[in-house]
A and B are shown apart, each in its own frame.
Chain A
Amino acid sequence: MKSTPFSVEDRMLWQNFLVGDVRSFEKLMSDHFRLLFRYGSKFSKDREFVKDSIQDLFMMLWEKRDNLNPEAAVKPYLMASLRRLMHRQLSERTGQGGQASQEVENYFAVEFSVEEQYIADEVTTARSLHIQNLISTLPRRQKEVVYLKFFQELSRDQIAQIMNITPQTVSNLLQIAIRQMKEFTKEGYVLIILWYLLF
């Protein structure tokens, strides 16, 4: 869960890659692959497509390396570039059918599970499930902000860079999302208890 806001190792690899060092490029790619794969999988369930997108991303970086910023924050930059690339390809792929692209744009899949070992009673389970349920029903962009903020532990500015929106918009989205996620109505509570008892 821990993340370094400013990774020196990354920056060194990045700068060596920019002057054409293939080994640094290789290490940079393998170091970030899992993170990028997980993030990319939020936009598409097609594993091969996600893997290909990451490969395309790094090919593109290699070609453009002369024009890249040596001081860039590596992790957010990679995530932002992958996001852009996948969105472009997804909308191209479904470009013919107007409705399909709508579907793609709404897609940001996060799934949760409950770790039984921490659950002491039904009430906690119910609350936990309810919160997870609320996250899943958030609109796509709010869900993405929540994912980057709470599960990737990125800063407001980094999220803004990744999603290509202003830091203020990040704060707004987050605020709305949190407000929604705190809505714990009595009915919802009862329903979930019932659900829990029934199954």
Chain B
Amino acid sequence: MNRYSDFSVEDLVWDDFFRQWIFSPTSETNALWNNWISENPEMLGKMEQARRILLSMRLEEPEITDAEINEVVRRTVGLVNVANTATTQLSHRKTPVLFTTWMRLAACIALIILLGWTTYSVLVRKQQEPQLGQQLKASSYFVEETNSTSRTRQLVLSDGSSISLAPQGRVRYRKPFHGQRREVYLTGEAFFQIAKDPDRPFLVFANGLITKVLGTSFRIKAYEGVDQVTVEVKSGKVAVFTERDPQSKKKVEDNALQGVILKPNQKIIYALNEVKMVKTLVEKPEIVVPKSQISRLDFEDTPASEVFNTLGKTYGIDIIYDAALLKDCPLTAVLEGLTLQDKLNIICKAVESSYEIVDGQVIIHSKGCKN
């Protein structure tokens, strides 16, 4: 922010970052600019003037009514339908392409006007039906599945992945998948189990949030009318980013996972109106290591540092603690059959510490147990 110290009003007016703050402020940019102005109070006058100039400057755009738009759109769609019928009728000819010149187009417009609006809209309706038939013949097409029942509906995709669609959920995808990516559009809630295919990333688009995986299982909640999307990871690694992300196109196309990376038991909450993502833990973290490898969770005179280490590995999450301090805190406890939160509570009580969940990690605050 230092570079702004000698900015003039006009410099601010044409500065990208300043404009972005004025027109679409976020909590982050608010904090940054407020902080900056408290450090550079002499800039307050200039900043205020720049802000007013930006807000007062309205670009006069010519207006067009929805009715006007609809009229042109309907006319065009009508022409397209007529062109299609004509093409089908003439398909035995060697040059079935109509409308190669604008003159032919003009002739066609004249023809339509002659036909008259009434006959015309009837035609449009009738011709849209065979159009749908043609779609089905295409090798790969978007299908839409909804779950109007009251129970979870299982869907199996062409790549072997499965989707458990919650009631009222809706997904759209290509059948079969086509191209370098497997893409699904979700409204509502669904649990995904994705077949591994590192060459073809799997992407879920849900209410502005893009979730990208190579092969994992996770749950997404993106209800219509709710300004929040959550992603909870059960196994494997998941990358999450928003459609607004200026790099989103690159992140979608790249084969590597970029964005906010979520690991098992982590969860992201994306608040649409705040344009921010909060990483946390799922409500009930589950043990991620296979049953045969679960180390017994009863400890006798074990240093607390070691207990946290074992716990972190069992749940596949990061527990941050001061190892030097906690190695002198012995702990004897049986932690089988409790939730992660209960386990943490018990340990923390025993060794006079506390914990908080920050950014999907558990952070242990402790003063040590030397006395």
- Residues of A near any B CB (own CB < 8 A): 1-2, 4-8, 12, 15-16, 19-23, 25-26, 29-30, 33-34, 37-38, 41, 47, 51, 54-56, 58-59, 62-63, 73, 110-120, 123-125, 127-128, 131-132, 147, 150-151, 155, 178, 181-182, 184
Contacts and interface: CB of A to CB of B under 8 A. Distances in A.
A151 B23 CA distance: 11
Interface of A is mostly: helix
Contacts of A6: 243, 248-249, 252
A19 B139 CA distance: 9
Contact of A119 (B52, B75, B83, B141): B52
Contact of A62 (B23, B83, B205): B83
Interface of B: 8-11, 13-14, 19, 23-24, 49, 52-53, 55-62, 64, 68-70, 72-73, 75-77, 79-81, 83, 97-99, 102, 105, 128, 131-132, 134-135, 138, 141-142, 172, 185, 205, 210, 243-246, 248-249, 252
A128 B60 contact: no
14 contacts: A19-B141, A20-B135, A20-B138, A33-B73, A37-B64, A59-B105, A118-B55, A119-B56, A127-B9, A128-B57, A131-B57, A150-B19, A181-B14, A182-B8
B10 A113 contact: no
A21 B140 CA distance: 13
B53 A131 contact: yes
A37 B53 CA distance: 27
Given A37-B64, A41-B62, A110-B60, 5 more contacts: A4-B244, A26-B73, A51-B68, A55-B76, A112-B59
Contacts, number: 152
Interface of B is mostly: helix
Nearest to A135: B57
Contacts of B141: 16, 19
B97 A63 contact: yes
Contact of A22 (B23, B60, B102, B128): B128
B49 A178 contact: no
